[in-house]
Chain A
């Protein structure tokens, strides 16, 4: 059942299209992630769908009822909730912050007390009940913010980068608790985030925005296997994203020119096609001597080490081969190869490990 749909939505900033969406439907209980670069229109889409943005053209439907015509905006707003990156709590106790939103909906005091206590215990912050919000840490404040939205038992929960300001150790538990509540209460979630771990843990459907348009609407598996643009490639973890031009293509293997180098990849393209070429750092090997000979490895490029990051169990090495390429290697390999900054090195990767798509 469609819970919310968007039709011919246009929103401009001056002459620039901030949002230009022909059709988008979200079904009840879906957990949707909106991703895109800064300025792609994620926040505007969330605000438009939540009825908080006055857009120039288009309609938003809630259960096929047009908001503002078949159902009033104020009625719609009482059935959703929104959470932003900043907690935006009022200067009062935790209890009063959560109770306040229930008072907005004219819920009786007895019920308010019960619902506030329930939500605090679900989010494991019952000990904060009487604390003033000014004395809370960033993570605690965001938990209270989430509690304030969840206590409303919204049918749709909109979240605009809600975990960006929280440190990773605190975020992990918060995401687990939130996911559990959302699934249990069958809340439809529309989340925007820059963090793939957040997105993959909570959401099942991914909408990729570019310049206000939906360029991909897919599931996790397809997003991971076939990113549609540079942003989604970087979102799912590709660290090397290159622009190339196809020189030739035979039997599903193409050769593309990238700077002064040539890269082999797989796919059916035509000469002259402009490609985005993505290479995963886990698929890039480093060697002191070239090992391409007598092997199935198609790509072997000579470069210079420009950056080394020790990431605990492995090293992230950045090599300049005319363009920068990132490789993740084990500590043992790093020690054996005696890699140092500015030392020459060979970068190797198989043609099949290259993901490419037309620009």
Chain B
């Protein structure tokens, strides 16, 4: 209990004294997670739309693969990216391993199936004739895409938040492909693991609390958005 109390105190101290190391970690976390979420959102929503609208024989296989992808362990995502971008790997010549870019790619691999699966479920929940109706009223392919996304904005936003949640909380992939390099690839989750392994539980807890605070702010934004929609 005392550790927790000191951790809260420590977290607030670090935040209000604008500790350079801590803010560096926070900003990198936000940068990496937001970038990977935005990329996952663009790819995931588009994939979900195309899978839903262009029903083919392969659709069920594709949907099953997407749903399976939702359960991909971050460590496995990290391992896949490591193998691909390893010096002797197929994209080794890009030399991006242990960079924030590699972390972003690994996180996209984690968030993309989450965003896709939830968006797909949302698009499939539209009445069967909704899309036909819009085409029948003259919507072209791009207009139709935006009408559908706009109509489902609440659920699509939920998919994006779920994607963000999956990457901000993961540690395995970031640790594996980022290398947890201080001042370069260290994010809140990897910093928490590092401080815990050093026995520095107060600071580890402080990072945990900062992570919770960030998640809280994002969820607050989500709730505000939902309320505005109503």
Contact = CB atoms under 8 A, between A and B. Distances in A.
A105 B137 CA distance: 9
Interface stretch (A74-82, A172-180, A269-277, A334-342): A74-82
A152 B132 contact: no
B129 A84 contact: yes
B136 A50 contact: yes
A152 B138 contact: yes
B140 A82 contact: no
Contacts of A158: 136
Contact of A47 (B132, B137, B140): B132
Interface in A221-271: none
B136 A104 contact: no
A104 B151 contact: no
B213 interface: no
Contact of A81 (B137, B140, B143): B137
B139 interface: yes
A104 B137 contact: yes
Interface in A1-46: none
A136 interface: no
Contacts of B182: none
B138 to A, nearest CB: 4
A82 B139 contact: no
B133 interface: yes
A5 to B, nearest CB: 19
Contact of B138 (A47, A77, A84, A90): A77
B137 A86 contact: no
B127 A80 contact: no
Interface in A156-171: 158
A101 B138 contact: yes
Nearest to B129: A84
A88 B140 contact: no
B94 interface: no
Contacts of B147: 90, 100
Contacts of A78: 138
A81 B136 contact: yes
A52 B135 CA distance: 8
A149 interface: yes
B213 to A, nearest CB: 33
Interface string B81-119: 000000000000000000000000000000000000000
A103 B144 CA distance: 12
Nearest to B154: A91
Contacts of B132: 47, 52, 82, 84
B98 to A, nearest CB: 46
Q: Which 4 interchain pairs have the tightest Cβ spacing?
A: A82-B136, A104-B138, A88-B133, A101-B137
Contacts of B136: 50, 52, 77, 80-82, 158
Contacts of A82: 132-133, 136-137
A316 interface: no
A77 B141 CA distance: 12
Nearest to A132: B230
B127 A86 contact: yes
Q: Which of B133, B137, B143, B150 has the most CB of A within 10 A?
A: B137
B138 A105 contact: yes
B16 interface: no
A191 to B, nearest CB: 15
A355 interface: no
Contacts of A88: 127, 129-130, 133
Interface of A: 47, 50, 52, 74, 77-78, 80-82, 84, 86, 88, 90-91, 100-101, 103-105, 148-149, 152, 158
A90 B137 contact: no
> Which of B136, B139, B151 has the most C-beta atoms of chain A within 10 angstroms of its own C-beta?
B136
Given A80-B136, A84-B129, A105-B138, 20 more contacts: A50-B136, A74-B140, A77-B135, A77-B136, A77-B138, A82-B136, A82-B137, A88-B133, A91-B151, A100-B147, A101-B137, A101-B138, A101-B139, A103-B143, A104-B137, A104-B138, A104-B140, A148-B137, A149-B137, A158-B136
Contacts of A100: 147
A104 B143 contact: yes
A102 to B, nearest CB: 9
14 contacts: A52-B136, A74-B140, A77-B136, A77-B138, A82-B132, A82-B136, A84-B132, A84-B133, A86-B127, A88-B129, A90-B147, A101-B138, A103-B143, A104-B138
A104 B139 contact: yes
Nearest to A148: B137
A104 B138 CA distance: 6
A239 to B, nearest CB: 32
Contacts of B151: 90-91
Contacts of B143: 103-104
Contacts of A50: 136
A52 B128 CA distance: 13
The residue among A47, A80, A84 with the most chain B CB atoms within 10 A of its own CB is: A84
Contacts of A149: 137
Contacts of A148: 137
Nearest to B133: A88
Contacts of B138: 77-78, 81, 101, 104-105, 152
Contacts of A104: 137-140, 143
A152 B139 CA distance: 12
